[in-house]
Structures are given as structure tokens and as C-alpha cells.
Amino acid sequence: MSRPSRRTGASRARASGGRAATATRGVTPDLVVIGVHFAGTGRTRIEAGRNLARVVGAHRRALVAAGLPRDSIVPGRSSPSYYDWTGRIEQRVGTRTIDPPRRIDYGGDNYGYVREVADTTYRATDVLQVRLRDFSKLQAVTDSALAYDAERIDEPRWTASDTDAARLGAIDEATRQALRQARAMAAAAGGRLGRALELSTDADESRSRILFSVTTTGASADGQAVAAPRLQVQATVTGRWELLAPAP
């Protein structure tokens, strides 16, 4: 910030740089999405697909029996078609050895030989994406996934559908912080703050990120508490003000 002009009391000089301030507001998530990965193997592609469908169907039925809505359990693939198997079936070739079926006598020395055989198996994979608004059902999802030998359970993704009030509150607080900082700098420089020249916010002002603090939001079927993270909406405001000479 430049020093104020001393020519007259009304003299003014523009601030050479802006002041930035960041504020946050907490919001409670109302949706959690969790992906469960399954795999099935077989000697043929059809057998691998059938084994995969069997375990995925069993997991889906278990979740419905636990009280989850059917439409909350959807395929987790990004493919536009659920029936697009590109990349979902892989071929694996392994080798194994067979004991020598006979021995051959070469001039009194017995030599055996080992035969290697190539075995081909197929592995099919799929992902189920579970969307929950009742967080007490989250334990049932993980329990069922483990019971049906899921290959991997993704980290839950927590989201909040309505963050407008929190975003506006963060912008308001960040603006006030930037103004207080600018006033303190003007006073320290021997001047006073004039009118605002520019106020702007980050393009990513409404992004949400997960904090490490948690709040208890419900209880699972076995009575254990289910903890959901506190989401945070963050806004950064940058402002520029005129720097005036001190009042006469």
C-alpha cells in the first residue's frame, strides 16, 4: 500500500496492492457415496461373468434387506452403458509344471524332464455405488461388502446439497476481515482508508473440503456411533482501497 499524499487533506493515492482474507463456514453433509469393488473368476469369460453377477446380486439383495432403497444402489462405472464390458474382463495366463511322466535312459544315466502347461483364467470386475442419506446404514454397507469378499471399499465421499448460506456467510466474514486489515495498515502508515476500489473473490470460492473433526450423526444397527466429517465451505476475498491523508 503506497504512502498517503501530504499536499492537502483531500489528496488521495490509490493502494498499490490488495488485501486478501479467507473465511470458512461449516456445513453438515446430507449425502455419502461409497463404492464397493467385486471380482469373479472362471475358466471362460461366461463363467467369470456369472460368478461376478452372483456375488454382486447377493450383495445388492443384502443391502435391500438391510433397508436401503433399491434406487440408491447403482453401477459405479463411468461407462455410458452398463453392459459395456470393455476393460472389465481380463485374461490371465499362468504356467504350472507337471511331474515327469517317465524317465529316459541315456547311456546309463537317467534323465527326467519337466513339462510346463499354460492355464488360462478370466477375471471380471464390477463396482457398485451406494448413495446414502441415512448415515446409520453405512455400517451395513461395509459389513455386507466384507461378507461377500469385496476386493476394495472406496473411501466414503461426503457432500452437502445446500451450501449457499454457508458460502455467503464466508464471503461476508472474509470481506470484513480484509477491511479490518486494510484499516490497520492505513493507520500504521499514518493515513486513513478511503473508498473501496475493487472487491473480488476466488473462482473456487465455494469449494468444499473435509475437515478432520467429526460429529456423531447416527447409530448403526449394532448400536455403534457413526461419525460423519464436518464439511467446510471456504471463501477468499481480495480488496483494494484508497489510502487518504490523515484528516486535518
Note down pLDDT in tens along the chain; length 248 residues: 444 444 444 444 444 456 788 888 888 888 999 999 999 999 998 999 999 999 999 999 999 999 999 999 988 764 444 445 556 788 888 776 666 555 555 555 555 555 677 788 899 999 999 999 998 888 899 999 999 999 999 988 898 888 888 888 988 999 999 999 988 888 888 888 888 888 888 644 444 333 333 333 444 444 455 667 788 888 888 888 888 888 77
- pLDDT at 15 (0 to 100): 47
Task: Classify burial at 136, counting beta carbons within 10 Å of its beta carbon; exposed 0-12, middle 13-18, buried 19 or more.
Answer: middle
CB 148 within 8 A of CB 59: yes
- pLDDT at 1 (0 to 100): 46
Nearest CA-CA partner of 39 in 96, 92, 79, 93 = 92
Outline where 91-163 has alpha helix (H): 138-147
CA-derived radius of gyration, the chain: 32
- pLDDT at 59 (0 to 100): 94
Taking phi over 0 as left and psi of -120 to 50 as alpha, with beta for the rest, 9 belongs to alpha
Sign of the Cα torsion 44, 49, 55, 58 reads negative
- pLDDT at 36 (0 to 100): 94
**Beta-strand runs (E) in 82-143:** 89-98, 103-106, 109-112, 115-132
- pLDDT at 18 (0 to 100): 64
Prediction pTM value: 0.63
Q: How far apart are CA 181 and CA 21, in angstroms?
A: 9
Strands 12-14 and 152-153: unpaired
CB atoms within 10 A of CB 235: 25
- pLDDT at 39 (0 to 100): 93
Strands 31-42 and 157-159: antiparallel
Q: How far apart are CA 66 and CA 224, in angstroms?
A: 16
